[in-house]
Chains A and B, each alone.
Chain A
Amino acid sequence: MQPSHLAGIVNLDHPGHYIHFHWLLISYGNAIVIALMMATFVAALFLPFPGARRKGHHHE
């Protein structure tokens, strides 16, 4: 099988880009994943429980 048949729609097999800030060196890929994880955590804190309003009762 040719490698092109295995490639994803978005090709990430090219040299990465990095954020370099003093002693911190982090790839854009890692920075995006960490930002998504933090966003998911904050959303889990502030979004209402699914179905809570529809069922008309509070989760306790």
Chain B
Amino acid sequence: MSKKSFNPDVDVIEWTGTQRPYDIIKEGTIALVVMSLLVVMLSVLFSSPDDRPATLRQWSHSDPVDFATTAFSELNGSSGTAGYGQPYNNTPNATQTIGPLALQRWMGVRIPVHPAADFVLAPLATLPDNPAIVAALQQWKLSSESERTMWMGYYAKVTPSFSNGALHLPDVNAGPIPVLMSSLTAMARAGSLDQSLLGGGRNYYSTDYTRPLLFLADGNWFGGLAAKQHLSGDQWGMMNETGSYPGQAWLWLYTFWYQVPPFSTSENADSLIWGLMMVLTVIMIFVPFIPGVRSIPRRTKVYRLIWRNHYRK
């Protein structure tokens, strides 16, 4: 029977030199105490990011025309959420893919969102004692699909303006849409739309911000807010934090891919980069089994620097 050859990456020579005791509990305790003191000291010194949450109320006050324009895109089904696909709706060919793998579509519609009903009509229906809104909602409800299409076509041709605390529209034959849009803008400015959309409007104490966040993300104001704070994808935003705080520096590789072709110009960037990072993660896990890569520590000899006294002998 032939003797197995010695592989320096896998096999080890049995240690026959001197040995000394090592107290791992002591070292762990010292590390814990030092790190705890550092955390407390740095917290007192720098505190933590304290940026005010972006709300529909804030948006409708800062840029009411953008809010009203986005609200109309929710009503006519042209918003980003309306065409997002899974998990919100079944818009065909909307989801990202990795080659033939349509992971997003395969997950199905897990959080059904109907922008027109959820973001516009249902919140307005919660407003009490407003005959104009009740009449507008009733007119919308009883209208035919062709009537709605005609109204939306007329409304799309005008540009709203905002002054004296209210939305203004030129005279246009858009049925109930002007009332719906100006009422929703007023509702958002009062702050009640934020509460109405929380948890799909079904639970007062909800912490489910899905719908208000989707609505916010459909407009231009929210994206502008993120870009100002260097939080957009093309600004290495994944590793940035609000204000001057250091962010998630360990996500440098993930966000790096978004800056370079082909990912920076791809419609499937999120899926492709996720797939690439999964592949790299698997490679990292299997480093001990990859010939050449597993030899890097032995060949670079960094360990000889750390235990230089031993190797000097």
What residues of chain A have their CB less than 8 Å away from a CB belonging to chain B? 3, 6-18, 23-30, 32-34, 37, 44-46, 52, 57-60
Contacts and interface: CB of A to CB of B under 8 A. Distances in A.
Interface in B191-243: 228-230, 235-236, 239-243
B130 interface: no
A35 B305 CA distance: 21
16 contacts: A8-B44, A8-B45, A10-B45, A12-B244, A14-B244, A27-B240, A27-B247, A29-B245, A29-B246, A30-B246, A30-B247, A32-B246, A34-B249, A45-B306, A59-B309, A60-B20
Contact of A29 (B17, B236, B247): B247
Contacts of B249: 30, 33-34, 37
A57 B309 CA distance: 10
B47 A29 contact: no
A59 B21 CA distance: 11
Interface string B241-262: 1111111010000000001100
Given A12-B47, A25-B236, 5 more contacts: A8-B48, A16-B244, A18-B230, A30-B247, A44-B306
Contacts of A34: 249
| A-B interface, 10 closest residue pairs, ranked by CB to CB distance from nearest | A8-B47, A29-B246, A58-B309, A12-B244, A16-B244, A33-B246, A8-B46, A60-B310, A13-B243, A30-B249
Interface of B: 17-18, 20, 43-51, 228-230, 235-236, 239-247, 249, 259-260, 302, 305-307, 309-310, 313
Contacts of A7: 47, 50
Contact of B260 (A13, A23, A29, A37): A23
Contact of A59 (B236, B247, B307): B307
A57 B21 CA distance: 13
Contacts of B260: 23
A31 to B, nearest CB: 9
Given A25-B236, A45-B305, A59-B310, A8 B244 contact: no
B239 to A, nearest CB: 6
A6 B305 contact: no
A58 to B, nearest CB: 4
B19 to A, nearest CB: 9
A30 B230 CA distance: 13
A23 to B, nearest CB: 5
Contact of B243 (A16, A52, A57): A16
Nearest to A57: B20
B45 A9 contact: yes
A46 B239 contact: no
A22 B186 CA distance: 45
B18 A15 contact: no
A45 B304 CA distance: 9
A58 B32 CA distance: 25
A57 to B, nearest CB: 8
